[in-house]
């Protein structure tokens, strides 16, 4: 249950970063539009921001991985305790806690997949930009 105090941080601060990036990238706009270029530059700066020489996106992915593992263990532990419970009140209390743990499990899985996907899309877009730059240089020759 120690992970319960991490949920406000996860939901209000960390999760919107990759989610908003994926939302803006999926807009049906041209890759050369100002909005797309601005979005890519902004998120490239955010994701490449380094904390102790580690890019922020990798810290976010590591935190989401740890949170997902903690939710797996908590959900499984509550299931085992619910099966072994003998009193009806105790079982109902554990079912409520297990329901919240399962909800948090799915949220943490969504967060993990969203952060991994956002990083992969960002890297692919950087590669596309560098290839487009090489094409422009070759056309000038």
The length of the chain in residues reads 141
| Token duo for residue 12 | 């209000």
Interhelix angle 34-48/56-84, nearest 10 degrees: 70
Q: In terms of C-beta distances under 8 Å and separation of at least 24 residues, what long-range contacts does 115-120 make, across chains too?
A: 115/18, 115/57, 115/60, 115/61, 115/64, 116/61, 117/18, 117/22, 118/17, 118/18, 118/19, 118/21, 118/22, 118/43, 118/47, 118/57, 119/18, 119/47, 119/57, 119/58, 119/61
Per residue in 71-108, pLDDT (tens digit) is 888 888 888 888 888 888 888 888 888 888 888 888 88
**pLDDT at res. 7:** 67
Q: Are 116 and 103 in contact (CB under 8 A)?
A: no
**pLDDT at res. 51:** 79
**pLDDT at res. 135:** 92
pLDDT band of residue 1 (cuts 50, 70, 90) is very low
3-state secondary structure (DSSP) of residue 28: coil
Per residue in 23-60, pLDDT (tens digit) is 777 777 666 677 777 777 777 777 777 778 888 788 88
């Amino acid at each position: 249950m120690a992970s319960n105090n991490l949920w406000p941080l996860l939901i209000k601060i960390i999760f919107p970063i990759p989610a908003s990036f994926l939302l803006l990238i999926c807009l049906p706009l041209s890759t050369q539009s100002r909005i797309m270029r601005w979005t890519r530059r902004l998120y490239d700066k955010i994701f490449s921001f380094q904390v102790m020489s580690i890019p922020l996106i990798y810290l976010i992915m590591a935190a989401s991985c740890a949170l997902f593992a903690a939710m797996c263990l908590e959900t499984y532990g509550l299931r085992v305790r619910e099966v072994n419970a003998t009193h009806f009140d105790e079982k109902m209390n554990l079912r409520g806690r297990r329901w919240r743990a399962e909800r948090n499990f799915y949220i943490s899985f969504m967060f993990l997949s969203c952060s991994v996907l956002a990083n992969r899309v960002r890297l692919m877009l950087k590669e596309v930009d560098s290839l487009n730059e090489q094409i422009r240089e070759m056309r000038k020759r």
